[in-house]
Structure 1
Amino acid sequence: MEPHENTGHPRRWAILGVLVISLLVVVLDNTILNVALRTLADPVHGLGASQGELEWAINSYTLVFAGLLFTFGVLGDRLGRKRFLMVGLALFGLASLLSAYAQDPGQLIATRALMGVGGAAIMPVTLSIISNVFDPRERAKAIGIWAGAVGLAVAIGPVLGGALLEHYWWGSVFLINVPVVVLGVVLVAALVPESRDPRPGRVDVLGVLLSVVGLVALTYGIIDGGEHGFDRPRVWLAIVGGLAVLGWFVAHELRSDHPSLDVRLFRVPRFAAPVALVGLVFFAAMGVMFFGAFYLQLVRGYSPLESGLLFLPFAAAQLIFAPRSAAMVRRYGGRAVAGVGLLLTAAALGAFVLIDADTPIWIFSALGFVQGAGMANIMPPATESIMSALPREKAGVGSAVSNTVRQVAGALGVAVLGSVLSAVYRNDVATAVSGLPGPVRDAAQESISGAYAVAGRLGAGAPRLIDAANTSFVSAMHWAAGVSALVALLGFVIVLRWMPGRPVIETDARPATERELAGTA
Structure 2
Amino acid sequence: MPPAAAPRTPPRTTGPRSGPHPDPRRWWALGAIVTSMLVLGFDGTILNVALPTMASELHAGTGALQWIADSYLVVFAALMLPAGLLGDRFGRRRMLVTGLAVFFAGSLAGTFAQNTATVIAARCVMGAGAALIMPLAMAVLPSLFGPDERTKAMGAVSGAAALGMPLGPLVGGLLLDHFWWGSVFLVNVPLIGLAVAACLFLLPETTDPASPTVDVLATALAVGGLGALVYGVTEGPGRGWSSPPVLGTLTAAALLITLLVVRSRRQERPMLDLVLLRHRGFLWNTVAASLVMFTLTGLLFVLPPYLQTVLGQDAFGTGLRMVPMPAGMLLSSRATAPLLRRLGPRPVIGGGLAVMALAALLGSRTDPGDGYGFTALWLSLVGIGFGLAIIPAMSEALGTLPRHRAGVGSGLLTTLRQVSAAVGLAVCGSLIAGAYTRRLDTDGLPPAAARAAGESVMAAHATAAKLGDAALLRSADAAYVHGMDLALTVCGGTALAAALLVGAFLPDSRTRPDASGPVAVESSDA
Q: What's the TM-score, normalizing by structure 2?
A: 0.93
1:444 has 2:453 as partner: yes
The residue that corresponds to 1:330 in the other structure is 341
The residue that corresponds to 2:463 in the other structure is 454
Task: Count how many residue pairs are aligned between Structure 1 and Structure 2.
Answer: 509
- 1:512 offset after TM fit, Å? 4.0
**Cα distance in 2 between the residues matched to 1:518 and 1:124:** 26
The residue that corresponds to 2:329 in the other structure is 318
**Cα distance in 1 between the residues matched to 2:384 and 2:65:** 28
Contact 1:9-1:134 within 8 A present in 2 as well: no
1:402-441 correspondence to structure 2 within 5 Å: 402-429=413-440, 432-441=441-450
Residue type of the alignment partner of 1:518: S
Q: CA distance change for structure 1 residues 321 and 8 in 2, over 3 Å: closer, same or farther?
A: farther
**Cα distance in 2 between the residues matched to 1:219 and 1:439:** 29
Q: Select the residue among 369, 375, 381 that pairs with 1:358.
A: 369
The residue that corresponds to 1:481 in the other structure is 488
- 1:136 offset after TM fit, Å? 2.8
1:465 has 2:472 as partner: yes
RMSD of equivalent CA atoms: 1.7
Q: CA distance change for structure 1 residues 274 and 62 in 2, over 3 Å: closer, same or farther?
A: same
Residue type of the alignment partner of 1:454: T
1:268 has 2:286 as partner: no
SS at match of 2:508: coil
Contact 1:159-1:308 within 8 A present in 2 as well: yes
- 1:17 offset after TM fit, Å? 1.5
**Cα distance in 2 between the residues matched to 1:207 and 1:239:** 19
Q: CA distance change for structure 1 residues 56 and 401 in 2, over 3 Å: closer, same or farther?
A: same
- 1:130 offset after TM fit, Å? 1.6
Contact 2:175-2:183 within 8 A present in 1 as well: yes
Contact 2:71-2:123 within 8 A present in 1 as well: yes
Q: CA distance change for structure 1 residues 5 and 276 in 2, over 3 Å: closer, same or farther?
A: closer
Cα deviation, 1:450-500, whole Å, max 9, x if unaligned, reads: 2122213213xx211000111111111111111111111110121011112
Moved more, 308-317 or 226-235: 226-235
1:83-482 correspondence to structure 2 within 5 Å: 83-429=94-440, 432-459=441-468, 462-482=469-489
The residue that corresponds to 1:17 in the other structure is 31
1:519 has 2:525 as partner: yes
Contact 2:464-2:470 within 8 A present in 1 as well: yes
Q: CA distance change for structure 1 residues 265 and 355 in 2, over 3 Å: closer, same or farther?
A: same
- 1:505 offset after TM fit, Å? 5.3
**Cα distance in 2 between the residues matched to 1:307 and 1:208:** 38
SS at match of 1:195: strand
Residue type of the alignment partner of 1:484: C
Residue type of the alignment partner of 1:54: L
Contact 1:144-1:324 within 8 A present in 2 as well: no
SS at match of 1:260: coil
Residue type of the alignment partner of 1:31: T
- 1:252 offset after TM fit, Å? 0.9
**Cα distance in 2 between the residues matched to 1:295 and 1:501:** 40
- 1:440 offset after TM fit, Å? 2.4
Residue type of the alignment partner of 1:476: G
Q: CA distance change for structure 1 residues 74 and 190 in 2, over 3 Å: closer, same or farther?
A: same
- 1:241 offset after TM fit, Å? 1.2
SS at match of 1:67: helix
Q: CA distance change for structure 1 residues 322 and 137 in 2, over 3 Å: closer, same or farther?
A: same
Contact 1:52-1:224 within 8 A present in 2 as well: yes
- 1:7 offset after TM fit, Å? 5.0
The residue that corresponds to 2:45 in the other structure is 31
Residue type of the alignment partner of 2:458: S
Contact 2:321-2:376 within 8 A present in 1 as well: yes
1:11-90 correspondence to structure 2 within 5 Å: 11-42=25-56, 46-90=57-101
Cα deviation, 1:73-97, whole Å, max 9, x if unaligned, reads: 0110110011011111111112101
Cα deviation, 1:14-62, whole Å, max 9, x if unaligned, reads: 11112111111122111100000110001xxx32222111111111111
Q: Select the residue among 472, 497, 507 that pairs with 1:490.
A: 497
Q: CA distance change for structure 1 residues 271 and 406 in 2, over 3 Å: closer, same or farther?
A: same
**Cα distance in 2 between the residues matched to 1:294 and 1:371:** 18
**Cα distance in 2 between the residues matched to 1:519 and 1:342:** 28
**Cα distance in 2 between the residues matched to 1:52 and 1:364:** 25
**Cα distance in 2 between the residues matched to 1:235 and 1:443:** 24
Q: CA distance change for structure 1 residues 233 and 513 in 2, over 3 Å: closer, same or farther?
A: farther
**Cα distance in 1 between the residues matched to 2:43 and 2:229:** 24
Q: CA distance change for structure 1 residues 494 and 511 in 2, over 3 Å: closer, same or farther?
A: farther
Contact 1:97-1:174 within 8 A present in 2 as well: yes
**Cα distance in 1 between the residues matched to 2:147 and 2:484:** 43
**Cα distance in 2 between the residues matched to 1:9 and 1:128:** 18
**Cα distance in 2 between the residues matched to 1:230 and 1:217:** 14
SS at match of 1:378: helix
Contact 1:7-1:135 within 8 A present in 2 as well: no
**Cα distance in 1 between the residues matched to 2:446 and 2:232:** 29
**Cα distance in 2 between the residues matched to 1:509 and 1:420:** 44
Q: CA distance change for structure 1 residues 24 and 508 in 2, over 3 Å: closer, same or farther?
A: closer
**Cα distance in 2 between the residues matched to 1:278 and 1:156:** 23
The residue that corresponds to 1:506 in the other structure is 513
Residue type of the alignment partner of 1:468: S
**Cα distance in 2 between the residues matched to 1:514 and 1:319:** 33
Q: What's the TM-score, normalizing by structure 1?
A: 0.94
**Cα distance in 2 between the residues matched to 1:413 and 1:270:** 24
Residue type of the alignment partner of 1:506: P
Contact 2:401-2:516 within 8 A present in 1 as well: no
